[in-house]
Amino acid sequence: MPPPVVLITGAARRIGAEISRRLHEQGYRLVLHYHRSEREARALAAGLELSRPGSVALLQQDLSRLDQLNALADRAVGCFGRLDALINNASTFYPSPLGTITPAQWLELSATNAAAPLLLSQALVPELRHREGCIINLVDIHGEKGLRHHLPYSMAKNALATLTRALAAELAPQVRVNGIAPGAIIWPEHELDPQQKEKVLASIPMGRLGSPTDIADTALFLLKGPGYLTGQIIALDGGRSSQGLPEA
């Protein structure tokens, strides 16, 4: 039986790259999506191909071009002739304080974090049903209560959480749909000052950042089962959400 195939969006860097490496180690074939990070995507694919030739395909796409996502889904299935799972990892994240939010920011943040996962999942439903596959959405612990100065982002991640639970109900029993809600895993690319970092760490019962490996291991757990687990969002945050979410 040929190895299963997983499409990972935003796979070239950071958490997406770690998920890719972990799943590839476990024998999965991968369709790695990227937008602007072509150099990183090609380097990642080349490294994985060294250990198992013919196991990785690359697809470039701006996910905010929502009218092109049906074609992206077709291309993804065509890479290996099947698709067993979709991991909606790609995300756009930057501050947009209230009073400065523009329509363009809202459209970009909502498209990448909510609309694209919806439309890509929808386009892949026939294939995933046929394979009895699964969908994993990368949500955010701040999707429930919001993150200061990130209102459109928080709203979009809240919508993604709703999508996760609603899709699980609609697609059962053939397709399982679950989510991972990371807390502080990697410091954001827009730099936090030392006081902000100290405040975040003080709010985490585990007293430290998580690791992209934690996310990758959780994704692997959700892919492999248990087969009765669907409609759930795992908060991978060192216990932070159980203590409340102070401002970052």
From the centroid of its chain, how far is CA 184?
15
**153 is annotated as an active-site residue:** yes
Catalytic residue among 28, 94, 153, 228: 153
| Burial (CB count <10 Å: 0-12, 13-18, 19+), residue 42 | middle
What H or E segment, with its residue span, contains residue 235? strand 233-236
Q: Are 189 and 243 in contact (CB under 8 A)?
A: no
Residues near 61 by beta carbon (within 8 Å), at least 6 away in sequence: 33, 35, 68, 69, 72
Counting other chains too, the contacts that 105-108 makes at CB distance below 8 Å and 24 or more residues apart are 105/152, 106/152, 107/64, 108/64
- Return d(Cα 150, Cα 66) in angstroms, integer: 22
Rounded to an integer, what is the distance from CA 178 to the centroid of its chain?
Answer: 11
Q: Which residues are catalytic?
A: 153
